[in-house]
């Protein structure tokens, strides 16, 4: 308990230099700032796919969305992971699209807005699996 209190007191009285180093526009447009940081990292992850989270092959909503977008799955090759890698790539593409749309939200039509929200939902859902 005492360690917990000391930790929080240290946090309150820490030097403000880190906070003061952030420029105001980054704080005002935090959605833009975070998107510009996240996009290249998701793109890098997309270009170097070495695997996927095992539960992705049981995500019915993701599979239905991929099929609706015209994705063709390889029959009988799940043991080799081809379908999982393709589906993970599809999920990353949806996430990248969402972060690329952050600055244009007011111009998105209803279909694009649904696609934007779906990509953010995937980002939230697979946040802990964004590793290579």
23 assigned to some structural domain? no
Range(s) of the domain holding residue 43: 29-129
pTM for this predicted structure: 0.77
| 79 has pLDDT over 70 | no
17 assigned to some structural domain? no
Confidence of residue 81 (pLDDT cuts 50, 70, 90): low
pLDDT at res. 49: 84
Is residue 51 a contact partner of residue 85, using CB atoms and an 8 Å limit? Answer: yes
84-100 confidence digits (pLDDT tens): 888 999 999 999 999 99
Which of helix, strand or coil describes residue 52? coil
CA distance 20 to 17: 5
22 assigned to some structural domain? no
Which are the contacts of 51, defined by CB distance < 8 A and separation ≥ 6? 81, 84, 85, 88, 132
Q: Total domain count for the chain?
A: 1
| 13 has pLDDT over 60 | no
Is residue 107 a contact partner of residue 86, using CB atoms and an 8 Å limit? Answer: no
4 assigned to some structural domain? no
99 assigned to some structural domain? yes
- 110-123: average pLDDT: 94
15-24 confidence digits (pLDDT tens): 555 667 777 8
pLDDT at res. 82: 73
Is residue 99 a contact partner of residue 130, using CB atoms and an 8 Å limit? Answer: no
């Amino acid at each position: 308990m005492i360690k917990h209190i000391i930790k929080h007191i240290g946090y309150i009285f820490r030097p403000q230099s880190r906070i003061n180093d952030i420029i105001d526009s980054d704080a005002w447009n935090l959605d833009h700032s975070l998107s510009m940081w996240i996009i290249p990292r998701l793109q890098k992850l997309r270009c170097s796919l070495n695997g996927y989270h095992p539960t992705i092959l049981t995500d019915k909503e993701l599979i239905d969305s991929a099929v609706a977008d015209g994705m063709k799955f390889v029959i009988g090759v799940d043991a080799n992971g081809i379908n999982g890698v393709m589906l993970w790539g599809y999920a990353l593409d949806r996430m990248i699209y969402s972060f690329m749309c952050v600055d244009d939200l007011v111009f998105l039509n209803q279909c694009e807005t649904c696609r934007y929200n779906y990509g953010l939902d995937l980002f939230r859902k697979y946040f802990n699996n964004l590793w290579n």
